[in-house]
């Protein structure tokens, strides 16, 4: 249960003389819902790109799903799922076609794809619209389908980049129930969000400020340690610089 | 509660008050078979900070584009500053400031160059308008030589606001200026809007973040092309018609699922570390409901349960007004009854 799915140590990335990620170290356990927070420009995206094997670090080490981020980035890509707010599904394809496409990309057999498609569509209540272009579905449905597609190859960890941005409040909560469900089945979830209430749904969070991890822990513990009533308050306190040193 | 899609509610005085600077009467707009706006009516008073609160796809952008004359309504009428948005569009465009939802500045121009360009389009200069843009421009000035593309999300939005203000508009339309912007920069942006309001500027702003509603004088809750309500944030939350209880338990997700099985449950939704619960029964005191919930959860093996009455937020109100809508989503587990 306490197996570590992400182990990052002194992970650093510079661009020219700008240090985007500055010696960050943290672990994420199997089955954890881990909130990866920070202001725009704090280094979250750079850190996430290193962890999913899209960007080489300047220094430091990390293992994701047991694989080294320098030498085994292809193996990492196969063992993780990824979903962003901007792009996840092919909108001209139907839900069924999207599942088949992603299943194929991740090397599932046709029989596996067929079985998982039926289970997924049924569970999401999308069976009636399985043959309709994704474009025609409400955003909330698309987001939920995208999440399930990101899990089609049963990855050990899934990275969600602002998955609920702009989604209505009920769908936003239903989306989090899918996250809980995935986590209770042992999938590790690393999620970014600008909704501070969602930060409170996480088992643990980290808050990045100017390339460093300024706080890390369970939301309740962090609130107690910093004497604040909410994660929003903590976030504002940590992330608001005295003077705008970086735009 | 004011009528949703009925005659416009014009604030304290009755409809078509002379203080109204935006009047919208039964405006509809279709795109093929998609109904983007469905008979929307409302009015905005001079000097108000007026918010449209709703998720993606609610129709906010379509409405804003109609009000700044970039789209023609399919039906109904709208005027801004007593100028008809169709007939008087040329005069209107000189007098409105508009910030589009997507970043629409020139990424390869510097901060200063963008601002100079927008000033020159309206026949003015940064120097001449300095007082108007000062509160925002002073935050941007340290980076005036930086390319717009290299700014952080929050700074880009401040620059866009500055560009929308540089010709001294009489009214400002800001379409989702804080979407995708972190919580700190969002606060700062709303602080700026508050300062503009103190200067007397009328501002109409849209956002998907329900918590930002409290920053507005009045808000319109918008969902699927319709206005669910138009009122002050306080009045909207006062209209929440059931006792709202906050339930905390150590195993939050399991407690949520359990609460939905409670025989009197009407709804149960997670809000951060608290579950917001409403009860089906009417006329039962909140204390009694709280005791019932505690007893139920304790009997089901939950430890450390606490239940307390809560004041509803705008997000609670929005949920209550949309959670029985069968078309918009997959069957909704949060709404029990």
> pTM value?
0.87
Domain ranges of chain B: 20-237, 244-322
Q: Rounded to whole angstroms, how far apart are CA atoms B296 and B280?
A: 15
Question: In whole angstroms, what is the distance from residue B39 CA to residue B227 CA?
Answer: 9
List the pLDDT tens digit at each of the 247 positions of chain A.
468 999 999 999 999 999 999 999 999 999 999 999 998 889 998 999 999 999 999 999 999 999 999 999 999 999 999 998 766 899 999 999 999 999 999 999 999 999 999 999 998 888 889 999 998 888 778 888 999 999 999 999 999 999 988 888 988 898 898 899 899 899 999 999 999 999 999 999 999 999 999 999 999 999 999 999 999 999 999 987 554 444 4
Q: Which residues constitute the domain of residue A166?
A: 4-239
Query: A160-174, A216-230, B87-101, B285-299: which has the minimum mean pLDDT?
Result: A160-174
Mean pLDDT score across all residues of chain B: 90
B103 touches chain A (CB under 8 A): no
State the smallest CA–CA distance between residue A162 and chain B in angstroms. Answer: 8
Higher pLDDT, B13 or A71: A71
Predicted ipTM beyond 0.90: no
Evaluate whether residue A247 is within a structural domain: no
Question: What percentage of chain B exceeds 90 in pLDDT?
Answer: 77
Spatial distance between the Cα atoms of A171 and B55, rounded to a whole number of angstroms:
10
Give the integer Cα–Cα distance in Å for B274 and B286.
16
Quick check: A168 and B269 CB within 8 A? no
A/B interface, count of CB pairs below 8 Å: 121
Give the model's pLDDT for residue A244: 45
Determine what percent of chain B is predicted with pLDDT higher than 70.
91
- 3-class secondary structure, A181: helix
Q: Are B186 and A194 inside 8 Å of each other by CB?
A: yes
> Which of the listed CATH numbers 3.40.50, 3.30.70, 1.10.1740, 2.30.38 matches domain B244-322?
3.30.70
Asked if residue A33 is part of any domain, the answer here is yes
Residue B273 and residue A219: Cβ atoms within 8 Å? Answer: yes
Residues with Cβ within 8 Å of residue B123, at least 6 apart in sequence:
none
Whether A221 maps to a domain, the answer reads: yes
Q: Which of B57, B146, B182 has its CB closest to that of A139?
A: B57
The answer, yes or no, to whether residue B6 has pLDDT greater than 70, is: no
**B139/A40 Cβ within 8 A:** no
Fold type of domain B20-237: Rossmann fold (3.40.50)
Q: What is the pLDDT of residue B180?
A: 85
Query: Does B214 lie at the interface with A, CB-CB under 8 angstroms?
Result: no
**Within-domain flag for A162:** yes
B330 touching chain A per CB within 8 A: yes
3-state secondary structure chain B: CCCCCCCCCCCCCCCCCCCEEEEEEEEEEEECCEEEEEEEEEEEECCCEEEEECCCCCCHHHHHHHHCCCCCCCEEEEEECCEECCCCHHHHHHHEEEECCCCCCCCCCEHHHHHHHHHHHCCCCCCCCHHHHHHHHHHHHHHCCCEHHHCCHHHHHHHHHHHHHCCCCCEEEECCCCCCCCHHHHHHHHHHHHHHHHCCCEEEEEECCHHHHHHCCEEEEEECCEEEEEECHHHHHHCCCCCEEEEECCCHHHHHHHHCCCCCEEEEEEECCEEEEEECCCCCCHHHHHHHHHHHHHHCCCCCCEEEEECCCHHHHHHHHHCCCCCCCCCCCCECC
Q: Range with the lowest mean pLDDT among A44-58, A81-95, B3-17, B182-196?
A: B3-17
**For residue B110, which phi and psi values (nearest 5 degrees)?**
-75, 170
How close, in Å, is residue A62 to chain B by CA atoms?
A: 27
Written as six digits, the tokens of B270 are 């997670």
Question: From the CA of A71, how many Å to the nearest CA of chain B?
Answer: 31
Angle between helices A139-150 and A95-105 (to 10 degrees): 20
Tell me which of A18, A163, A173, A199 to substitute to probe the interface with B (most B C-beta atoms closer than 10 Å): A173
Using CA atoms, how far residue A119 sits from A186, B158, B248, in Å, is: 18, 47, 33
So what's the pLDDT on residue A171? 86
**Chain B residues with CB inside 8 Å of A44's CB?**
none
């Amino acid at each position: 249960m306490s197996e570590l799915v992400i182990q990052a140590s002194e992970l650093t990335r510079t661009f020219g003389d700008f240090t985007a990620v500055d010696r960050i170290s943290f672990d994420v356990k199997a089955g954890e819902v881990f909130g990866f927070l920070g202001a725009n420009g704090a280094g979250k995206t750079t850190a996430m790109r290193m962890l999913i094997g899209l960007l080489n670090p300047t220094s430091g080490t990390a293992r994701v799903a047991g694989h080294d981020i320098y030498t085994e980035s292809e193996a990492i890509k196969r063992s993780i799922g990824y979903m962003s707010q901007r792009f996840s599904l092919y909108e001209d394809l139907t839900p069924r076609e999207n599942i088949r496409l992603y299943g194929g990309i991740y090397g599932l057999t046709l029989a596996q794809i067929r079985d998982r498609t039926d289970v997924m569509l049924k569970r999401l209540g999308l069976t009636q619209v399985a043959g309709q272009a994704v474009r025609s579905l409400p955003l909330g449905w698309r987001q939920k389908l995208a999440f399930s597609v990101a899990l089609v190859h049963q990855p050990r960890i899934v990275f969600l980049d602002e998955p609920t941005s702009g989604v209505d409040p009920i769908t936003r909560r239903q989306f989090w129930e899918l996250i809980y469900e995935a986590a209770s089945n042992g999938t590790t979830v690393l999620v970014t969000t600008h909704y501070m209430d969602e930060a409170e749904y996480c088992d643990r969070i980290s808050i990045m400020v100017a390339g460093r991890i300024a706080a890390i822990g369970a939301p309740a513990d962090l609130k107690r340690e910093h004497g604040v009533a909410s994660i929003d308050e903590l976030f504002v306190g940590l992330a608001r610089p005295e003077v705008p040193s970086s735009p | 509660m004011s009528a949703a899609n009925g005659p416009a509610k014009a604030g304290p005085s009755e409809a078509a008050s002379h203080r109204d600077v935006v009047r919208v009467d039964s405006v509809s707009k279709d795109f093929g078979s998609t109904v983007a706006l469905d008979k929307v009516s409302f009015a905005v008073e001079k000097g108000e900070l007026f918010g449209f609160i709703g998720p993606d796809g609610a129709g906010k952008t379509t409405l804003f584009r109609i009000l700044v004359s970039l789209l023609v309504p399919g039906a109904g009428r709208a005027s801004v500053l007593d100028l008809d948005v169709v007939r008087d569009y040329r005069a209107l465009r000189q007098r409105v400031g508009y910030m589009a939802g997507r970043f629409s500045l020139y990424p390869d121009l510097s901060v200063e160059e963008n601002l100079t360009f927008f000033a020159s389009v309206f026949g003015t200069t940064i120097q001449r308008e300095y007082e108007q843009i000062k509160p925002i421009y002073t935050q941007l000035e340290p980076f005036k030589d930086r390319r717009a593309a290299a700014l952080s999300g929050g700074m880009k939005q401040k620059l866009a606001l500055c560009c929308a203000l540089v010709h001294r508009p009489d009214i400002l339309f800001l379409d989702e200026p804080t979407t995708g912007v972190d919580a700190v920069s969002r606060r700062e942006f709303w602080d700026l809007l508050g300062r503009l309001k103190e200067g007397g500027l009328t501002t109409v702003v849209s956002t998907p973040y329900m918590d930002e509603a409290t920053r507005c004088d009045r808000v319109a809750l918008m969902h699927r092309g319709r206005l669910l309500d138009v009122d002050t944030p306080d009045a909207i939350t006062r209209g929440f018609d059931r006792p709202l209880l906050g339930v905390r338990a150590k195993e939050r997700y399991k407690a949520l699922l359990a609460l939905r099985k409670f025989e009197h449950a009407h709804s149960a939704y997670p809000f951060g570390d608290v579950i917001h619960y409403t009860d089906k029964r009417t006329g039962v005191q909140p204390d009694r409901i709280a005791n019932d919930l505690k007893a139920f959860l304790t009997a089901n093996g939950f430890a450390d349960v606490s239940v307390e009455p809560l004041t509803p937020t705008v997000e609670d109100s929005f949920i209550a007004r949309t959670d029985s809508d069968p078309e918009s989503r997959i069957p909704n587990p949060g709404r029990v009854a």
